[in-house]
Amino acid sequence: MSDFDTLIGLVSRYSPSGSERRAVEWLVERMKSLGYDESFIDEVGNAVGVIGKGEKQVILLGHIDTVSGEIKVDLTPNPSPERRGEVVYGRGSVDAKGPLACFVDAVANVGIKDGWQFVVIGAIEEERDSEGARFVVNQYKPDFAIIGEPNHWDRIALGYKGSAWANVIVKREQTHTASGEETAAEVAVDVWLKIKAYVNGFNEDKKRVFDQLLLTLRGIDSSQDGFEQQATLKVGVRLPVEVSPEDWYQRLKEIVGDANVEPKGFAIPAWACEKNTQLVRSFLSGIRSQGGEPRFVYKTGTADLNIVAPVWKCPAVVYGPGDSTLDHTPNEHIELEEYAKSVIVLSETLKKLTSPTQ
């Protein structure tokens, strides 16, 4: 077997959200072949592999689903003239089968450590409503958690923004077009400008994007039935740590006046990890062991970290190979050299973390 069989095999099983089963079954068998003590599909369809039976537990939570849009899996020379080696093209090679495969291979490399248990989870539905993570959050209580997302082999992500979505609905009685009365659509435009003005004011003294509100208007619809006009703003926001989804919805209601605010989907709070932990120090050592200069990043998106970290309340980080600017793009690919380094980094990190001298 090559050092990249897990990566290539996993990426070769196209698994958009809702259609993960084939990839899950393959990964379970792959973990069995790598010597995992247990490997199974859990109640909601996550792939789970376990090594060790110790009382202390490290969970490595990746996601096995991808966005839609199959990309032919192809192993080719690196397209970057300043880089050497090969790359693998394929949907999920970066987001986030690369990090998940890295977890699987690194844990297999480390094997059994006295007093410890490693649990690798390939979660389903992360790209939609995180059904897989919402299930496992109540099944485990780890001592340490590592979440799989692409941030390059020499970087550790310590925070992800939250998100909240809502429909803001404006209603007005139907009037004649010559009446001069504001239409529901006109009022909705004014409401949007008020929301935007509030966000601009909030962000004015915030230098880091991670600390700002990031507002988007995802759509605007209008209709009338002869008696009433209605206009709907589809408003999304990425939240900083200091603003909870509940805080945002309350503020939104105050801003929009007599318009209705209808929260949509799952709102997710932002999360920032503790920096001075044994887990972080172990990663710094692992990265330096490969000649890297460790860097910390805070991301503007959300991840399964946001769901599990507030419940598990243990030291956590986000790690994984790959260039996140390639997420969800038709050019998604990962460098094999980077993947190999990330496996070594994670292996060294887990050895350091579980060392009796720690």
Looking at the annotation, which residues are catalytic? 65, 126
Say how far apart CA 119 and CA 337 lie, in whole Å. 25
Closest listed residue to residue 104, CA positions, set 21, 174, 194, 11? 11
User: Would you state the structure tokens that stand for residue 246, as one six-digit string?
Assistant: 């509940």
Residue 339 and residue 321 in contact, taking contact as beta carbons nearer than 8 Å: yes
Locate 64 and state its tokens: 């096995």
Reference 336, options 29, 15, 66, 74; nearest CA is: 74
Tell me how far CA of residue 312 lies from CA of 131, 133, 142, 143, 238, in angstroms: 17, 12, 7, 8, 23
Comparing C-alpha atoms, which of 101, 131, 92, 98 is closest to residue 14?
A: 92
**Structural contact between residues 172 and 228, judged by C-beta atoms closer than 8 angstroms:** yes
Three-state DSSP class for residue 28: helix
